[in-house]
């Protein structure tokens, strides 16, 4: 029974490894994996965690402090006995212990504003994380589409190579029959050799693009990494059909760039308020408790009795009034005001940049759509021209060189369609992100 269990476990491991090797990644899976494992995203997550800790620090500043202390000392020569407060010229040991607490009652509201600032900083870090996730998702989509483009180009070249192989057989028969010259056969063979070389290059391009995508995802197993390369024929244009102003409004309310700039302005405003708080006095309350023991006690009290009888309390208020500090407070306030103005300008620039980027993305998507339509139209024309050239070549009305030129134009038209298609898809993805689609929800 034990052997059967071990064999079953081993078979399970083999099956699991085989299943993993045969896995094909979708775009959504790639984006989700990148968001979980990308180093830049992890660094942004650490920034967010640090912002949370800063908030805890700010909360702690509003709470009272409590500290304990204890010391044991052996004295020789003229030393003050802590239990009598008298100088004694002999060797004795003493023990002191106590606790102290303090609470800031007023500090120009700086502690409260530090807490408000920490909350704003946490939101800013959250928006920074969202921006990083958006940038990574776009990079993954671009890399993913590059793999699809290379695969589509390979299929186009292979398809035309099959046509060339069939044409080679027909040409061989016509040359053997004396209908076509030997030069036509050599021209077809040269075309096939060139296509074979293109197939090798296209296969290498696929492998290179897969490795680039795997590296972006931090996947080390390059050899078995594959993506889903089916079901990407339909292109959704719902967002591209919207008016650009509507996309801009959505971008301004959802994109993190403007939110980050807005939070930076609010943070700068809090910094000015915190700096101004240094003009005001600081009022704090304190409470101290202490007790002591000495082995040279003139009453010969034991350790416990001395601790009970020698204790004392101290409490009160402490006021610190700033009078002159080398103009440091005034210059610090001015410095923070300058930084506030800078962040306000940066906010205006962020809004302008976002509007400009959305317009650019919109124009790019519309231009890519027209390029894609033009490429499809050119492909249709080149296909008809190639069919016509094929018919004329097979009856001997054109030579192999003209036929090869027509075929090359047809091949290039197919590749141009692939490039225009995936360029169009990528630019639609950019628009989707600007419109507010979550990074993990972008799809093809």
Instruction: CATH number of the domain at 219, please.
Output: 1.20.1600.10
- Which pLDDT value is given to residue 267? 93
Alpha-helix residue ranges (DSSP H) falling in 287-327 = 303-309
Q: Is residue 419 part of a domain?
A: yes
Q: Is residue 83 assigned to a domain?
A: no
Domain assignment present for 47: yes
Report pLDDT for 224. 83
Residue with tokens 């046509």: 163
In 3-state terms the chain splits into helix, strand, coil percentages (rounded to 5) of 70, 15, 20
**Residue 80 domain-assigned (yes or no):** no
In angstroms, what CA-CA distances link 339 with 44, 127, 147, 260? 24, 21, 45, 15
Torsions phi, psi for 90 (to 5 deg): -155, 165
CB 26 within 8 A of CB 228: yes
Instruction: Report the distance separating Cα 318 and Cα 442, nearest Å.
Output: 60
316 phi-psi bin (left φ>0, alpha ψ -120 to 50, beta other):
left
Q: Which domain holds residue 144?
A: 24-63+107-280+322-441
Q: What is the pLDDT of residue 192?
A: 84
Please tell me the predicted confidence (pLDDT) of residue 124: 92
How many domains does one find in the chain?
Answer: 1
Residue 369: HSE in the Cβ half-sphere, 13 Å Cα cutoff? 15
* pLDDT at res. 444: 56
Residue found by looking up tokens 């699991």 in the block:
16
Give the CA distances from residue 278 to residues 68, 285, 326, 436, in Å, rounded to whole numbers and listed in that order: 30, 18, 13, 42
Reduced to 3 states (helix: H, G, I; strand: E, B; else coil), residue 87 is: strand
For the record, the structure tokens of 54 come out as: 């800063």
> Per the domain annotation, does 9 fall within a domain?
no
Distances (CA, A) of 391 to 138, 387, 395: 46, 6, 7
Residue 266 confidence (pLDDT): 93
Report the length, in residues, of the chain. Answer: 444
With respect to residue 8, please indicate whether it lies within any of the assigned structural domains: no
Q: Which residues of the chain register pLDDT less than 70?
A: 1-22, 179-180, 230-236, 439-444
pLDDT at 16: 37
Alpha helices in 177-325 (DSSP H): 182-216, 244-254, 256-276, 303-309
Decide if 57 is inside a domain: yes
On whether residue 199 sits in a domain, the answer given is: yes
Whether the CA torsion 257, 261, 266, 272 is positive or negative: it is positive
Q: What are phi and psi of 211, to 5 degrees?
A: -65, -40
Note if the pTM is more than 0.85.
no
pLDDT at position 269 is 94
CB atoms within 10 A of CB 412: 14
Residue-level pLDDT at 230: 67
């Amino acid at each position: 029974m034990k052997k059967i269990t071990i064999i079953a476990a081993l078979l399970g491991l083999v099956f699991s490894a085989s299943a993993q090797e045969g896995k094909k990644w979708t775009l959504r899976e790639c984006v989700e994996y990148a968001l979980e494992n990308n180093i830049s995203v992890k660094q942004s997550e650490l920034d967010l965690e640090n912002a949370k800790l800063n908030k805890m620090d700010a909360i702690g500043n509003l709470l009272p402090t409590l500290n304990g202390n204890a010391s044991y000392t052996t004295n020789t020569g003229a030393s003050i006995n802590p239990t009598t407060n008298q100088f004694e010229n002999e060797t004795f040991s003493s023990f002191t212990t106590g606790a102290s607490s303090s609470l800031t009652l007023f500090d120009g509201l700086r502690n409260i504003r530090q807490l408000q600032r920490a909350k704003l900083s946490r939101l800013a870090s959250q928006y920074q994380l969202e921006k990083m996730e958006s940038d990574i998702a776009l990079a993954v989509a671009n890399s993913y589409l590059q793999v699809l483009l290379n695969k589509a180009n390979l299929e186009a070249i292979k398809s035309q190579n099959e046509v060339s192989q069939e044409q080679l057989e027909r040409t061989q028969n016509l040359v053997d029959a004396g209908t076509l010259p030997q030069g036509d056969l050599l021209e077809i063979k040269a075309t096939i050799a060139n296509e074979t070389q293109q197939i090798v290059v296209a296969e290498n391009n696929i492998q290179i693009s897969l490795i680039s995508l795997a590296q972006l995802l931090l996947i080390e197993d390059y050899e078995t990494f594959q993506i889903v390369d089916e079901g990407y024929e339909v292109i959704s244009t719902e967002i591209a059909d919207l008016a650009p102003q509507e996309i801009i409004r959505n971008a301004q309310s959802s994109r993190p760039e403007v939110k980050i700039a807005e939070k930076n302005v609010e943070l700068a405003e809090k910094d000015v308020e915190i700096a101004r708080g240094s003009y005001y006095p600081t009022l704090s309350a304190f409470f101290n408790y202490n007790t002591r023991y000495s082995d040279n006690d003139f009453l010969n009290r034991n350790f416990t009795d001395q601790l009970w009888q020698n204790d004392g309390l101290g409490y009160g208020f402490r006021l610190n009034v700033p009078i002159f500090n080398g103009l440091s407070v005034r210059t610090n306030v001015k410095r923070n005001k300058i930084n506030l103005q800078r962040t306000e300008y940066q906010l205006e620039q962020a809004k302008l940049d976002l509007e400009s980027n959305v317009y650019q993305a919109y124009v790019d998507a519309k231009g890519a759509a027209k390029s894609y339509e033009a490429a499809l139209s050119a492909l249709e024309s080149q296909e008809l021209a190639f069919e016509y050239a094929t018919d004329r070549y097979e009856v001997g009305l054109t030579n192999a060189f003209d036929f090869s030129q027509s075929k090359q134009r047809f091949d290039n038209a197919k590749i141009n369609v692939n490039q225009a298609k995936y360029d169009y898809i990528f630019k639609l993805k950019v628009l989707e992100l600007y419109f507010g689609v979550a990074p993990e929800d972008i799809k093809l």
